[in-house]
Amino acid sequence: MSPSASRTLLVVFAHPDDESFGPGGTLARYAAEGVAVHLVCATRGEAGEAEAKYLDGYNDLAERRLEELRCAGRVLGLAGIHFLDYRDSGMPGSPANRHPQALIAAPVEEVAAQIAGLMRTLRPQVVLTHDPGGGYGHPDHVAVHRATVAAFHRLLRERPNGYAPERLYFSVFDRQQLAWTVRLMPLFGMDPTALGRNRDINLKAALERALPVTTRIDVRNYLEVKQRAAACHQSQIVGGPGTRNFYGRLPRWLVRRWRSTETFHRAYPPYTNRRVERDLFPSQD
């Protein structure tokens, strides 16, 4: 790419809030730098839970969560939000898994075809999605990962009108930080294998399958923006045994240090350099 070439980042996630509670600092940074950051959201988060007060004036939770996502999108500076119109599948073993419109019930090829269509239209140089294990194992995260990878490689093969995306990244945990989190949680009376509202998030399992970090993005100057975007998702901010509750018990300097970078794994082209890269986009030199 020449320095004057427009840059587009396509982010494909499963639920409203994945963009803010995940790599929100990275999205805000690239948007502020003039990158057209587009978000594809596969579901509307219908299977989540929220206190009754957050549903006043809304037909259902999905409507509330869409408004929250649009709020976060404005804060982050997203160029567009695109929906795939599948239903939230819920965590493993939940009744939502069996809903006929659940994302996990859709064939991977069907979902991939929609994502590939958006790639053809938006022509991103860089595509970002969930890691193979879905972070903390959410079935929808895994489904989105598989469909996005399939769409990416489909365009590499077909190269419609000469276009093909250049890089594919997965949003991943910092393994060292995650290891310390798993180690420290029991000291605060928290079980790292049973987190979340329903205690169905297992960070030990996430640590075991975590991919190596190939890329670190400095987001120190965008932490406040990310925090404001996360605050848009009020229906999803709860107390109890979760990582946000854990971070609130740690020294502020440590939390800020941990949050100052966001971590990724470059899946394509495979990253073989021993030095961690600091940019998602190919060099413009």
Beta bridge partners, 169, equal 128, 266
Closest CA to 214 of 177, 261, 267: 267
Domain containing 167 equals 8-173+211-238+261-268
Whichever domain contains 81, its CATH number is 3.40.50.10320
Closest CA to 40 of 145, 136, 174: 145
The torsion angles phi and psi of 181, rounded to 5 degrees, stand at: -60, -45
Compute the mean pLDDT over every residue in the chain, rounded to the nearest whole number: 92
Amino acid at 25: G
Residue 118 lies in a domain: yes
pLDDT at site 196 = 79
Residue 126 lies in a domain: yes
pLDDT at 127 over 90: yes
The DSSP 8-state label assigned to residue 45 in this structure reads -
Tell me what the mean pLDDT of segment 2-22 comes to: 86
Residue 178 lies in a domain: no
Q: Using N-to-C axis directions, what is the helix angle for 223-231 and 24-32, rounded to 10°?
A: 120
- Considering 87-96, 114-123, 193-202, 273-282, the range whose residues carry the highest mean pLDDT is 114-123
Tell me what the mean pLDDT of segment 23-41 comes to: 98
Q: What do you get for the CA distance between the two ends of the chain, in Å?
A: 9
pLDDT at site 241 = 56
pLDDT at 109 over 90: yes
Instruction: For residue 284, name the pLDDT band (cuts at 50, 70, 90).
Output: low
Residue 186 lies in a domain: no
pLDDT at 203 over 80: yes
Number of structural domains (the chain) is: 1
Q: Which two three-digit tokens encode residue 281?
A: 């986009």
pLDDT at 211 over 50: yes
Tell me what the mean pLDDT of segment 76-100 comes to: 94
Percent of the chain residues topping a pLDDT of 90:
80
User: If you compute the radius of gyration of the chain from its CA atoms, what whole number of angstroms results?
Assistant: 18
**Mapping DSSP to helix (H, G, I), strand (E, B) and coil, where does residue 99 land?**
coil
pLDDT at site 178 = 95
DSSP character string of 187-227: GGT--TTSBTTTT-B-HHHHHHHPPPP-EEEE-GGGHHHHH
Residue 125 lies in a domain: yes
Tell me what the mean pLDDT of segment 121-150 comes to: 97
Residue 254 lies in a domain: no
Residue 206 lies in a domain: no
The DSSP 8-state label assigned to residue 84 in this structure reads E
**Mapping DSSP to helix (H, G, I), strand (E, B) and coil, where does residue 64 land?**
helix
Instruction: For residue 91, name the pLDDT band (cuts at 50, 70, 90).
Output: confident
pLDDT at 3 over 60: no
Residue 253 lies in a domain: no
The Cα 15–Cα 19 span in angstroms is: 8
pLDDT at site 48 = 82
| Bridge pairing between strands 36-43 and 80-86 | parallel
